[in-house]
Amino acid sequence: MLQFYRMENLIKRHYWLNLIEKSWIHRPIIWLSGVRRTGKTSLTHTLENIEYFDCELPRTRQSMEDPEGFLVSLKGKRIILDEIHRLGNPSELLKIAADHYPDIKILATGSSSLGASRKFRDTLTGRKVTVLFTPMIASDLDDFKSSNLEHRLLRGGLPPFFMDKKIPEKDFQEWMDDYWAKDIQELFRLERKFSFQKCIELIMMRSGGIFEATKFSKECEVSRTTIMNYLRILDETFVAHVIKPFSTHKATEIVAAPKVYAFDTGFICYYRGWDKLRSDDMGILWEHFVLNEMQGRLQTRNIRYWRDKRHHEIDFVIAQRNQKPIAIECKWKAGSFNPANIKAFRHLYPKGDNYVVASDVTHPHTRRYNSLDVTFITLATLIKKLLPSDN
């Protein structure tokens, strides 16, 4: 496996570095969460004026057994606690730091969602900012000096996989084995490895579709309740994204069944057996990339979809409190857009912006379909439209 975080080859990922610096202004503690091999360790090494502690090392863990003794020598410093979930009581260390050493800035990382661990049931409310570190976003392509979007979609957004000269097939299974051993067993202690990994495989192969737990239950040879528990765990650890339906419980809408997206396009391509991309493959991968961009740039997973019982569907709906719902359709090519879905949505929800985000749009423009206005937009412009005005 290519270790892209070797000190001599560090790549500065400017969006993420700026986000961390801004977050430290508001809170003394940052939790950097995301799946393994997104590059959390490398990112921390590109921050300036930091002291780095690897919590996987026994000597490091021993030095933190007395939190006050450890922290007193670090007053006024910026420290990285990498793989913090390896500590016996990480919440205690962070609480003491926030309450008694507020001039210490801490960035804590973990291979999975720190909040999913039994060790982090105390959420450190008011003391921390959580940064969701996603697979590579659009600005990362500039930092890695690779603007080839199709390469990003095929290889995915984990830097070692993205940068390898060949598709690292054996490394996909190695990643899955590490995820089972180091995330799932340490945090959740599941027993049926075959059934759990079969569930992940099915999610990769059916990513972006409506999740039908009963079908998964039969194929994974476990109960429906177990499948729903697997899905909860995959969502908590960011390996799957559960997108709930947007509705006001109208009789014509889908109100319960979620859509489930796998975390990375490279893994989707691997599990579907795609070593080259055809034009028919691009649409669903682009949809995943748009979702990843929204999650990374907006720092939220509060994204919905919409579907009615006549199978009209909107890819994503952004619905903030007291604001009109924003409808977002993802198209690899703008020419393939059909307004029927947005028309059906706006029949129930007349007010709100309508966007088609397409890879071949160069300049935003609006088209009118009868009385319906739809704006065709670039992904970068879409993010600007969705970001709060103070960003």
Give the contacts of 166 (CB within 8 A, at least 6 positions apart): none
DSSP structure string for 129-149? EEEE-PSP-HHHHHHTT---H
Domain membership of residue 53 (yes or no) is: yes
- In what side-by-side order are the strands of the sheet with 259-262? 209-210, 259-262, 240-243
pLDDT at 4: 39
Q: How many helices (H) and strands (E) does the chain have?
A: 17, 14
What gap in Å lies between CA 158 and CA 144, rounded to an integer? 12
| 324 phi and psi angles, rounded to 5 deg | -75, 140
pLDDT at 321: 82
Domain membership of residue 38 (yes or no) is: yes
Structure-block tokens of residue 339:
């307004």
What gap in Å lies between CA 325 and CA 254, rounded to an integer? 16
Structure-block tokens of residue 99:
């309450």
Domain membership of residue 97 (yes or no) is: yes
Domain membership of residue 371 (yes or no) is: no
Cα–Cα distances (Å) from 129 to 24, 30, 33, 245, in that order, read 8, 5, 11, 27
Nearest of 347, 365, 344, 369 to residue 355 by alpha carbon:
365
What gap in Å lies between CA 161 and CA 154, rounded to an integer? 10
Query: DSSP class of residue 308?
Result: B
pLDDT at 241: 97
What gap in Å lies between CA 239 and CA 231, rounded to an integer? 9
| 54 phi and psi angles, rounded to 5 deg | -95, 105
First to last CA, the chain: 37
| 344 phi and psi angles, rounded to 5 deg | -65, -40
How many Cβ atoms from other residues are within 10 Å of residue 97's Cβ?
25
Residue 155: what residue type?
Answer: R
- In what side-by-side order are the strands of the sheet with 326-331? 304-307, 313-318, 326-331, 354-358, 372-377, 365-369
What gap in Å lies between CA 306 and CA 245, rounded to an integer? 5
User: What CA dihedral angle connects 357, 381, 285 and 337, to 10 degrees?
Assistant: 10
Domain membership of residue 184 (yes or no) is: no
Number of structural domains in the chain: 1
Domain membership of residue 81 (yes or no) is: yes
Domain membership of residue 240 (yes or no) is: no
Residues 255 and 249 sit within 8 Å (Cβ to Cβ):
yes
Domain membership of residue 158 (yes or no) is: no
| 41 phi and psi angles, rounded to 5 deg | -60, -45
pLDDT at 6: 46
Q: What CATH number did the domain enclosing 122 receive?
A: 3.40.50.300
Nearest of 24, 22, 77 to residue 51 by alpha carbon:
77
What gap in Å lies between CA 287 and CA 266, rounded to an integer? 14
Query: DSSP class of residue 115?
Result: G
Q: What is the pLDDT along the chain (391 residues), one digit of tens a residue?
A: 333 334 446 899 999 999 999 999 999 999 999 998 999 999 999 999 999 999 999 999 999 999 999 999 999 999 999 988 888 888 889 999 999 999 999 999 976 655 555 556 556 778 889 999 999 999 999 999 998 999 999 999 999 999 988 887 899 999 999 999 888 887 787 889 999 999 999 999 999 999 999 999 999 999 999 999 999 999 989 999 999 999 987 788 887 899 999 999 999 999 999 999 999 999 999 999 999 999 999 999 999 999 999 999 999 999 988 889 999 999 999 999 999 999 999 999 999 999 999 999 999 999 999 999 999 999 999 999 999 876 6
Q: Which domain holds residue 119?
A: 7-132
What gap in Å lies between CA 252 and CA 254, rounded to an integer? 7
Bridging pattern class, strands 259-262 and 240-243: antiparallel
Residues 183 and 36 sit within 8 Å (Cβ to Cβ):
yes
Looking at the DSSP bridge assignments, the partners of residue 80 are 52, 107
